[in-house]
């Protein structure tokens, strides 16, 4: 898939790009939905902290608001062989350079009728503040993504911002998910509905949001990542205090699994 000059210019100017032409076919999408539903039904990776409720307090036995699985290809290695990855790599190389490749990063599931919103955030706010990043996330829905079931919204130009103040959702340090504390900009955001297999691509500081799933179908999103090697930041050290004060069940399970391993 070859991007146009206008698409490449739009991405670098705005910090995101929506591609409404599917990057795979219906047969692969059907296969991916089967794999996706299986690992979420199994809650694959829960004991190691890879499966958790991104939008809630993640207690066992509680209905999850926003289930997520990190590194889903660890639990479904067949995802690494999809042709969608080859096309995604072809696309990001046109944006970042020939040395980058796309890999499966995580999956976020919004259950039909009650899947919670994904609050406004910048991806870099989750990461180690000592590094300088040049990364993208490739967000692919496995069914149509609409305003009703939780398509992505982006704030144009926000990739040029510094990382803004964040907090755990609702100010609750037990919740892994983050939210930006000032969202007055949201009135100028752009929604990006997509067909199944379409993608959005956004930079690591691009502010983005996904609404709740008020529809009658599940919203399945697979997120790929790609980027140039991280570099140590120059200048004054920075801190992300919202991560320092987190005390999440996900983190506790991950630490316990590391010790037992």
Residues 243 and 121 sit within 8 Å (Cβ to Cβ): no
Q: How sure is the predictor about 12, in pLDDT bands with cuts at 50, 70 and 90? A: very high
Query: d(Cα 219, Cα 143) in Å, to the nearest integer?
Result: 7
Q: Is the confidence at residue 44, as pLDDT, over 90?
A: yes
Query: d(Cα 34, Cα 39) in Å, to the nearest integer?
Result: 9
Two tokens, residue 149 = 């079931």
Instruction: Please report the pLDDT score of residue 259 as a whole number.
Output: 83
For the stretch 93-141, pLDDT in tens is 999 999 999 999 999 999 999 889 999 999 999 999 999 999 999 999 9
Query: d(Cα 204, Cα 222) in Å, to the nearest integer?
Result: 17
What average pLDDT does this structure show over 47-74? Answer: 95
């Amino acid at each position: 898939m070859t991007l146009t000059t206008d698409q490449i210019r739009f991405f670098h100017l705005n910090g995101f790009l929506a591609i409404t032409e599917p990057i795979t076919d219906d047969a692969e999408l059907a296969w991916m939905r089967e794999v996706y539903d299986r690992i979420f039904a199994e809650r694959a990776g829960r004991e190691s902290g890879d499966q958790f409720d991104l939008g809630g307090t993640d207690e066992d036995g509680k209905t999850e608001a926003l289930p997520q699985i990190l590194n889903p290809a660890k639990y479904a290695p067949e995802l690494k062989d999809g042709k969608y990855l080859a096309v995604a790599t072809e696309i990001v190389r046109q944006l970042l350079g020939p040395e980058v490749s796309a890999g499966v990063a995580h999956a976020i599931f919004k259950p039909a009728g009650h899947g919670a919103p994904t609050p406004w955030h910048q991806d870099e706010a989750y990461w180690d503040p000592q590094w300088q990043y040049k990364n993208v996330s490739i967000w692919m829905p496995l069914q149509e993504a609409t305003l009703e079931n939780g398509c992505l919204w982006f704030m144009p130009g926000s990739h040029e911002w510094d990382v803004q103040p964040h907090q755990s959702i609702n100010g609750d340090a037990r919740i892994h998910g983050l939210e930006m504390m000032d969202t007055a900009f949201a009135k100028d955001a752009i929604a990006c509905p997509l067909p199944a297999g379409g993608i959005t691509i956004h930079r690591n500081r691009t502010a983005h949001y996904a609404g709740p799933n008020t529809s009658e179908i599940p919203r399945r999103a697979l997120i790929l990542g790609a980027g140039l090697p991280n570099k140590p930041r120059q200048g004054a050290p920075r801190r992300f205090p919202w991560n320092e004060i987190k005390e999440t069940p996900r983190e506790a399970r991950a630490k316990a699994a590391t010790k037992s391993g």
